[in-house]
Each structure stands twice: as structure tokens, then as C-alpha cells.
Structure 1
Amino acid sequence: MLRFAGFKLDQQRAELCSADGVAIKLRPKTFEMLRLFATSGGRVLSKQELMEAVWPNVHVGEDSLFQCIRELRTALGDERRQLIKLASGGGYLLAAEVETEAEVSAAHAEVQPAIAAGPSLAAEAVADRATVSKKPEKSP
């Protein structure tokens, strides 16, 4: 899971969510371009690099690239072009800090010290985590 500018990018589900958790629909190629931006470490990606990564072994014109950029800006509410920026020299970059969220690693880190302390504490840690993650049931 990648987070940037209030958005969550779930690479496994190929899903972009807004800050309030609403899924934002993206076409597969547009999602792939956003994933590429988010994993590029803030570096400028040339038009050629983007086209080769998003449309491998397929000759496409720059119109396809521009269409994906437009769709990304619309999906991100980036009318002022502050997130997806055109760089001098003809490339683009995602101008936002991207954080990696490792949900599985965080859960593992919570239980790991308890396992080292002993089996009964480990079981308690797992039970506590299960209790916290349960949603309250609605009454009829």
C-alpha cells in the first residue's frame, strides 16, 4: 500500500482510494502509470520511459500518454497540476511524498515481542488484536 497526498494506492488490488476511503476508478493503463509514478522515488520519468513501461512492446502515440496524464489529474483533483508536474525536458513527475504502508509488517511487529516473551503472552496479543479488529454488531 502506498500513500501520497491523502490518497492510498493499493497495488495488489489495483485500486486508488481518496482520503475518505472512496475508491476512484482508473483504467488499467492509467493505474499502471500512477503506480509507476508512485514507485519512482520522485524522479522525472521521460515520455519515452512512461510509454515503454505502460505500453510494453506496443507502439502508441503521445496522445495515449497525454490521455492517461489527463485522467490521473482528474482522478487526483489536480486541476492546477501540482501533483503530476511536467518537467523541463518533456518528462513528468509525481510531486508528492510517497510513504509505504506495510500493514502485514505492522501486525507482525505488534505480535513479535509477545512471542519472544512466551506462548501465553503471544496468544493474548493475538486475541487482543482479534478483539480490536472486530466490528460491533448492529442490534435489530
Structure 2
Amino acid sequence: MKNIFIGNSLFIPKTRVIKQEGREIKIRNKESELLFLLCKKYPNHISREEIEKQIWTQTYVTDNTLTQTISNLRNGLNDKKHEIIITIPKKGYCLNIEPKFIDDEKIKIENLNSDFKKNSTLKNIPFLKMDLLLHIY
């Protein structure tokens, strides 16, 4: 399953985690399913009825359940001003930021490259520094 960048947040559907500005937020299963659905439907809106049908299959859902799930999701995304997930009155919800789907492997490789660059200076490898000095003289 692909990970998704939404603005400055990284959503990892497989583990139901949102990473943002050094913090990691674990979201509930239904919140994760809803966020993934909103990402798939971007830039289109999705009605409350469609959300209920796809997320809460064969289960009765109150208006409050969906409203609370959206609220929890906005909190997880640090979306206090409702700029990421917008409510379209009488229509439903949609993402206001284009989600960017990225392979899990690509993120691991980029993190590995970043870690390697941080840790591969001569000052962090004293034996290599000494070896270079011996070869110079």
C-alpha cells in the first residue's frame, strides 16, 4: 500500500499513522479508512451517505459518528482551520490539498540516504581519518 503526503503530513495507511513536524499520531481504523477514501476521491467531494456506505458497511451510523470521525481526523492532521478537509454544505467532504501517493520503498531509501549523509563524515569515522593520514605521509 502506498504512503500519502498531504501537505506537510505523511499518512501511512498500513500502520494508521500520520507523521507531521516531528510528531507521530496514531489514528483509529475508521479515521484511516476515511482519510484514504478522501485521498482516492480527490479533487471530488464525497457525500456523507457515500462515506457511510463505504466505511461503515451494513452498520447504522448516526450523524454524530461521522462528524466525530471527521473531527478526530482534522485533529490528527492539525487542521484547526478546516483547510485540509473541507465541509461542503449539503454535499459532503473533500480534501483541499492534493494528496501525493508515494511508494513505501522510496521513503525507506530516501531516509537511508539521508541517514547515510548525516553519519558519513570523517569525524564520525576515526579509523578512516587515521588511515587517510597514514597514506598522505
Partner residue, 2:129: none
- The reply on whether 1:8 has 2:10 as its aligned counterpart is yes
CA 1:107–1:68 in structure 2 vs 1: closer, same or farther (change >3 Å)? closer
5+ residue gaps, structure 1, are 109-128
Normalised TM-score (structure 1):
0.70
Which letter maps to 1:55? Answer: W
Contact 2:7 2:97 in 1 (8 A): yes
What SS does the aligned partner of 1:79 have? coil
Structure 2 gap segments, 5+ residues each? 125-137
Distance in 1 (CA, whole Å) between partners of 2:78 and 2:107 is 30
Task: Tell me if the contact between 2:4 and 2:101 (Cα under 8 Å) persists in the aligned partners.
Answer: yes
* TM-score where L is the length of structure 2: 0.71
How many Å apart are 1:84 and its aligned residue? 0.9
Q: Contact (CA 8 Å) 1:3, 1:101: kept in 2 or not? A: yes
Q: Which has the higher contact order (CA 8 A, sep 6+)?
A: 2
Aligned-partner Cα distance in 1 for 2:108–2:17? 22
Q: Secondary structure at the match of 1:45?
A: coil
Correspondence list, 1:1-140, <5 A: 1-20=3-22, 22-104=23-105, 132=116
Query: Quick check: 2:85–2:94 contact (8 Å CA) kept in 1?
Result: yes
TM-align CA RMSD: 2.7
**Are 1:45 and 1:92, in contact at CA under 8 Å, matched by a contact in 2?**
yes
User: C-alpha separation between the residues in 2 aligned to 1:4 and 1:18?
Assistant: 10
